Amino acid sequence: MTSTLTHIRLELAREPGSPAGNPQDGWDIVAVLDADGRLDAAGCRDQSDRLHVRRFEDNQTIATGTLRQGPGGKWLLDLAPEDAPDATGFRFGEERFVAGEYVSLINADGETHAYVVAKAAPL
């Protein structure tokens, strides 16, 4: 199996202040994943014009932007590319984006939040 452009939906997982998690708070990401469900850096570079992120709260779009790989291989979610990244994936290069797995994002303010991969479907 080769790398595939994929829609990934991340929903806020259980954490202090949200003990049941919140499926209405999260991120939609379009990225290239390899056969194991990991981000394919080369594939993402080749299709960078197709990568997309959407931040949502209460199921409403807050902002949209792009996914890109930054210095040191960190994955950045930019809602306003002219500013600093809005979120950085914690170990995104090592994570598997398959339904049921958990990943973490570090917001621009330094807070880390866990998200469950609610969906990972080829486009």
State the SS3 of the chain: CCCEEEEEEEEECCECCECCCEEEEEEEEEEEECCCCCECHHHHHHCHHHCEEEEEECCEEEEEEEEEECHHHCEEEECCCCCCCCEEEECCCCCCCCCCCEEEEEECCCCEEEEEEEEEEEC
Supply the mean pLDDT for the chain. Answer: 94
To 5 degrees, how large is the angle CA 92–CA 117–CA 72? Answer: 5
**pTM over the 0.85 mark:** yes
Q: How confident is the model at residue 17 (pLDDT cuts 50, 70, 90)?
A: confident
pLDDT by residue (tens digit) across 25-84?
Answer: 999 999 999 999 999 999 999 999 999 999 999 999 999 999 999 999 999 999 976 666
Distance CA 36, CA 72 (A): 22
Is the pLDDT score of 1 beyond 60? no
Is the pLDDT score of 16 beyond 70? yes
Q: How confident is the model at residue 2 (pLDDT cuts 50, 70, 90)?
A: confident
pLDDT recorded at residue 81 = 66
* Domains of the chain, residue spans: 4-122
